[in-house]
Amino acid sequence: MNNVVEKRNAGEESAVGRFVENLKAAPHRFTETMFRSGRPHSDRTRSTFVFGNVFLHLHSVRTHRWSLRWSATWGLGIAAFSCFFVLVATGVLLMFYYKPYPDVAYLSIKDIHFVVPTGRFIRNIHRWSGNMMVVIVLLHMARVFYTAAYRPPREFNWVTGMGLLAVTLGLSFTGYLLPWDQLAYWAITIGANIAQSPREVTDALGMTQWFDVGGLQKLILLGSEEVGEEALIRFYLFHVMILPLALVALIAVHFWRIRKDGGLARPVDADTRLGPPSGEVYPVFTEAPQKTYSLAAIVKGRTAVVGRGPEQTIPSMPHLLFGEAAVFMLTIALSVILAIFLDAPLKEVANPAVPENPAKAPWYFLGLQELVSHSAFMGGIGIPMIVLIGLGLIPYLDRETEGTGIWFGGPGGRPLVVGSAIFGLAAVVAVEAFVIRFGWIRQWWPNTPQLVVTLVNPGTLLTFLYAVYSVWCLRKYDSTRAGALALFTCFVCGFVVLTVIGSYFRGPNWDFYWSPSQWPGH
């Protein structure tokens, strides 16, 4: 009792006083405890800011100046990840209202459009981000290829990236069906028929009744013979759970491997190419290393800083992180701007009795659909498999070192890429123009066996032309990289031109039209 009174008399250190003081300090302490090391003012705190944060510690503490130039990556990887982030956020919101059952699904999209507060806007963002993600992932792949960034030790990350591309396309494709409108229904029907295209070969060989791999693929995809409720629930499950989880797992591997493979690819002579850092870049670590980087020795492979001061690296916080934040916000800004002006399409409710004519697959498959119109098997399975296997083999076949980390690096360089682009465009336009003008074997000799058409069709002809050209470049420059540059460029041109033809110049019955205004019946 006495003690209490004494303390109260002492005045300045009463419990109430301390309580009030603690209360005042709470916000400050909360921030401190959250970021552990306080504000990033010094080199030391900047470092702890990065590795003391669960979200940021995937970055290295210091980043090479080469990687920080915009032209090194154009921020495409982060942009793709930003799209995914936006897609998850908006997708979860949409899931609150979406009901995955035929017809009801369509009505729920109508409700999202008309009644759910800002539902139309959220759906538009989701749609635009989804399309942007496909485009950005493709561009990202092109960037990695053209800067030869797939070379050792990054071969496996290239393959991971291909997995990410496949999952991204899968996500977009499964999402395409969910609105359950005519566009969705017939696009997925086309997609499922592409999956069924091996039947063209098994039919021609007369073995479909024993070995119907095409039918099996379609059945696995749709859960039924036709697009229906089984297909819808299946696509929904893939779209909202299985594929996103797969994507997250692959992204984790992809990011982790970037760190473990020593950051972004850069040329051996990056330091000389960059020259001395300008005075504005602060702070540059110029002192001789006081520590050995023994810890780095247990990581497989070489690290750039062993035995040498990291004179060309600068703290990731703020330099890298602000760049990434800028790309992140830029991507979001682009998708919301598109979303506010352009509504996601929603046609009539799906009606299996009224086929869309033309029924078109999602745009990124329209190049394939164009090839499928010539030969289902080659367009749907053959050529995509050749392309996928070719892409996957690139890092294992190209073991050269010249030009790593440099745009269009390697023998031939930019002139070779320009030449290949010209050849690639000319070849695809010529082949398509010929087919559109004069038709193909089936029109000339209606009784030609199917196997002949499967083997000799505009798609295989184009692939053959590209392959021959690429081998020619390979021999000319005496370099696998040169052949790869030629082939990749040709296929990009083919993909773009075929996609454009499929999107804009194909009308009812997949006939050629200069513009939709010439379509019959309009």
Residues that bind other proteins (CB under 8 A): 107, 110-111, 114-115, 117-118, 121, 181-182, 280-281, 318-319, 322-323, 325-326, 329-330, 332-333, 336-337, 339-340, 346-348, 354, 520-522
Torsion sign (Cα): 439, 185, 352, 505: negative
CA pair distance 221, 506, nearest whole angstrom: 26
Least Å distance, CB 127 to other proteins, is 15
Q: Which helix (H) or strand (E) holds 455?
A: helix 450-455
Please identify, using beta-carbon distances, which residue of 188 and 332 lies nearer to other proteins: 332
Q: Work out how close the CB of 497 gets to other proteins at its nearest, in angstroms, rounded to a whole number.
A: 29
Least Å distance between CB 65 and other proteins? 11
CB of 183 to other proteins, least distance (A): 9
Write down the least CB distance from residue 242 to other proteins, Å. 30
- Whose Cβ is closer to other proteins: residue 3's or residue 517's? 517
Nearer to other proteins (CB atom), residue 134 or residue 339: 339
Preceding peptide of 153 cis, ω within 30°: yes
Residue 519 CB, nearest approach to other proteins (Å): 10
Minimum CB separation of residue 237 from other proteins in Å reads 26
**Are 60 and 314 in contact, with CB atoms under 8 Å apart?**
no
Rounded distance, CA 264 to CA 143, Å?
A: 12
As given in the structure block, the two tokens for residue 120 are 């139309």
Question: 502-508: long-range contacts at Cβ-Cβ below 8 A with a sequence spacing of 24 or more?
Answer: 502/360, 502/363, 502/366, 502/367, 502/369, 502/370, 503/360, 503/363, 503/366, 506/358, 506/360, 506/366, 506/370, 506/373, 507/358, 508/357, 508/358
CB nearer to other proteins: give 106 or 158.
106
- Separation between Cα atoms, residue 495 and residue 506, nearest integer Å: 16
**Cα separation of 45 and 223, whole Å?**
56
CB of 336 or CB of 387, closer to other proteins:
336
Distance of CA 142 to the CA centre of its chain: 11
Of the candidates 247, 315, 195, 281, the residue with the CA atom closest to the CA atom of residue 81: 247
**Residue with Cβ nearer other proteins (165 or 320):** 320
Nearest distance from C-beta of residue 300 to other proteins, angstroms: 32
Alpha helices in 302-412 (DSSP H): 316-341, 366-374, 376-377, 383-397
Q: Which is nearer to other proteins, 159 or 349 (CB)?
A: 349
Q: Which residue lies nearer to other proteins by CB, 206 or 521?
A: 521
Report which secondary-structure segment, H or E, holds 314: strand 313-315
Contact 121, 131 (CB under 8 A): no
At its nearest, how many Å lie between other proteins and the CB of residue 342? 13
E strands within 138-208? none
Q: Residue 473 in contact with residue 341, Cβ under 8 Å?
A: no
| DSSP 8-state class, residue 350 | P
Closest by alpha carbon to 305, among 81, 495, 479, 64? 64
Q: Show the DSSP H helices in 196-240 as ranges.
A: 199-204, 213-222, 229-237
Nearer to other proteins, 45 or 375 (CB): 45
Query: Judged by CB, which is closer to other proteins: 329, or 433?
Result: 329
Nearest distance, CB of residue 281 and other proteins, angstroms: 7
Q: C-beta of 74: minimal distance to other proteins in Å?
A: 13
List C-alpha distances in Å: 381 to 159, 199, 214, 374: 20, 11, 10, 13
The residue (of 449 and 521) whose beta carbon lies closer to other proteins is: 521
CA 388 to chain centre: 15
Indicate the SS3 state at residue 63: strand
Q: In the complex with other proteins, which residue's Cβ is closer, 125 or 492?
A: 125
CB of 436 to other proteins, least distance (A): 23
